[in-house]
Amino acid sequence: MGQVEMTPGVGSASPFVGTFETGRHYRVHKSYVYAAPILAVLAVVGVTLLNGMQGWVDLVFAIRDGKLAVNVLFVVLGIVGGLVLLVAVCVGLYALAWRNMSYVFDEREFSFYSGIITKRRVHMPYARVQSINQRASIVQRVLGVCTVMIDSAGGSANKGVRVPYLQLETAERMRAELFMRKAAVAAGREGEIAFCGTLAGDACSPIASGGTAAVEQTSPTSVPQNALDATVGFAGDWRGAFGGAAAFGEEPVAYEHGLTNHELLLTTISHDKPIAVALVVLFTFVFTISLVVLVQDEVALWISMAAVPIIVIGTLVTWVIGLLSTLVSYGNFRVRRRGSRIEVERGLLTRVSSGIDVDRVQSIEIRQSFVRRLIGYCEISLGRVNAANEQNKGNNNSSVQAKGLVVHPFVKIDRVDEILAGIVPELADRPQRSECKPMAKPALRRALLRRCLWFNWALWITVAVGVTWAVVGYLVKTGGIQFAGAAEQAQYAHFMVGSLGLVVAACVLFTVVDAIDAVLWARHSGCVWNRRYLLVHNDGLSTTECVIPRQKIQSGNTRSNPFQRRLSLVTLQAVTAAGAGSTVVRLIDIPAEDGAAYLDWLG
């Protein structure tokens, strides 16, 4: 262990000991200089090749057929030289960016500096730090580095800090340092932080978020295991080329949970995304081929028959790819309750580590997709404030994740209380779904009108197609559109009638599904509140149950349109700070007296 140096004027008995010197500029890892630009060049080359695929194919055929004479050696040297020059330019730019990129721990705030021409400084007071998350791509895991995302607690206007290419050891030290300095600021002792100077590869004593040495990590619960956990055990522990040794211990784990083989398999099979993408591909193919068949052309019929196996194989391949993506995403899934923090780690290749302080939990959300409702399973997530990173506003990682922090992707509905008791025992006295007040009687009629008529996009598309074909038919009848002969006109008429029938059939199918969804919603939805929590349950083919602590409701209101007022109905709304902006939880068409009681409860 390196020699310990204390900051002037600070006694060795200080409870707040850090490993980053106050006011000193630290740089990210040097792998940023070569790894990031190479990845950027590969992405540019890949996009260029894909976008110009037809041109490249035509060029190859032109060379093969002798229409274009080229010197192969000259072309190869030109391509290699161009790539080398592009990589060199990118490496130079990234090197300049690296020299101008640093982060600083000041007494009361963390600052990140970047920019070559336009200089940028993002700072975050320690008091506003909400969570420190890590994300490592496949390449970053090989290098032993990661990107650290520091989320703030600034509500709808919060800004996050994104620090790229930190060694895993440094990232862990940074997380401990930020929580320690936050605790010091909260105690009014930010000027009493002792500095533990270390040499490369050395480590100080463990630092807990409260500023004191942590005890050895233990877990009082048995953690479920699956086959992937054993497969990726080495990969999960391996810290890459520059990862370094584990920096610090942590607070003891009070609760930890993973996924069993059964849960991981069913999570993958029943996940919304693979099913939705596969169904969209299938529907698009079937609809397109059906229109081709209606043309009544011999070549078109042959193409449509040949496309049938392509449709089946394409749908299956799309679904399998989606399954593998989900499997990789949730591989080695772990959720922990450590002190006052909830931590989630997941990812077989790209590793994501997210966390949140329990005081920052905005809501608990229990979701059931249609498939999961049929088999009695659900997904549990925590609504949280998400930061919009100043350095990467347009990046998908900065956008709000609609599902929040998923703490269990697939669990039996009757085990929800058990899981939540381990993760957030503070919410044990929340109301239950069985206590919900029923919807008003007119809610069913209004739901059917709303979903099957006013907001039925399939119906309005059918109306638009019908009107279009009617206008075209009128033009044909009046001579505005003329055909070469009677056969062509008959073929057109067959296509028009057949395509309209196809659209009407699709409309009827979607309308029936919407009607079933509306009936389930009206019969089983509801809301209830007790002294501390509001529960809103929206039912249907898929369900969402949201539990919101009363103190997390930024604003609550009821609203009604003229039709609702005539029936003494209102729409309940609760606004939380979850997401990058805010999240509105609502329940339509509750009785007006329940709405008034809700406002009294908020007051």
What pLDDT score was predicted for residue 158?
A: 53
By CB atoms closer than 10 A (0-12, 13-18, 19+), residue 142 is middle
What pLDDT score was predicted for residue 428?
A: 86
Nearest in space to 494 (alpha carbons), one of 306, 201, 293:
293
Average pLDDT over the chain, rounded to an integer: 82
Taking CA atoms, 299 is separated from 287, 289, 306, 432, in Å, by 18, 13, 11, 61
Q: Look at 52 and 499; give whichever has higher pLDDT.
A: 499
Euclidean distance between CA atoms 369 and 425, whole angstroms:
26
Q: If pLDDT is split at 50, 70 and 90, which confidence band does 219 have?
A: very low
Which of 207-221, 285-299, 310-324, 458-472 has the least mean pLDDT?
Answer: 207-221
Residue 295 has pLDDT above 90, yes or no: no
What pLDDT score was predicted for residue 535?
A: 97
Mean pLDDT across the stretch 48-56?
69
Mean pLDDT across the stretch 236-263?
76
Q: Pick the most confident of 139-143, 243-247, 248-252.
A: 139-143
Mean pLDDT across the stretch 560-571?
96
Mean pLDDT across the stretch 318-323?
85
- Per-residue pLDDT tens digits for 462-485: 999 999 989 988 888 888 888 878
Residue 32 has pLDDT above 70, yes or no: yes
- Residue found under tokens 């979607």: 510
What pLDDT score was predicted for residue 246?
A: 61
Euclidean distance between CA atoms 229 and 217, whole angstroms:
19
Structure-block tokens of residue 431: 């109301």
What pLDDT score was predicted for residue 502?
A: 85
Euclidean distance between CA atoms 39 and 58, whole angstroms:
28
Long-range Cβ contact pairs of 425-430 (< 8 A, separation 24 or more) = 426/358, 427/364, 427/533, 427/547, 427/549, 429/530, 429/532, 429/533, 430/364, 430/530, 430/532, 430/533, 430/535, 430/547
What pLDDT score was predicted for residue 449?
A: 96
**Which phi and psi angles does 239 have, rounded to 5°?**
-105, 15
Mean pLDDT across the stretch 575-602?
91
What pLDDT score was predicted for residue 12?
A: 47
- Per-residue pLDDT tens digits for 399-440: 334 568 999 999 999 999 999 999 999 988 999 999 999 899
Residue 205 has pLDDT above 70, yes or no: no
- Per-residue pLDDT tens digits for 154-168: 544 456 799 999 998
Residue 393 has pLDDT above 50, yes or no: no
Mean pLDDT across the stretch 69-96?
83
Residue 348 has pLDDT above 80, yes or no: yes
Structure-block tokens of residue 49: 């090749």
Taking CA atoms, 425 is separated from 335, 416, 428, in Å, by 14, 12, 5
Mean pLDDT across the stretch 225-230?
72
What pLDDT score was predicted for residue 440?
A: 92
Residue 364 has pLDDT above 90, yes or no: yes
Residue type, 214: A
Distance linking the first and last C-alpha atoms of the chain: 57
Q: If pLDDT is split at 50, 70 and 90, which confidence band does 301 have?
A: low
Which of 69-83, 291-305, 430-444 has the least mean pLDDT?
Answer: 291-305
Q: Pick the most confident of 230-239, 391-400, 410-419.
A: 410-419
Q: Look at 504 and 404; give whichever has higher pLDDT.
A: 504
Euclidean distance between CA atoms 193 and 189, whole angstroms:
7
Beta carbons of 145 and 366 less than 8 angstroms apart? no
Q: Look at 353 and 4; give whichever has higher pLDDT.
A: 353
Q: If pLDDT is split at 50, 70 and 90, which confidence band does 390 have?
A: very low
Structure-block tokens of residue 261: 């083989």
Mean pLDDT across the stretch 259-274?
86
Residue 596 has pLDDT above 70, yes or no: yes
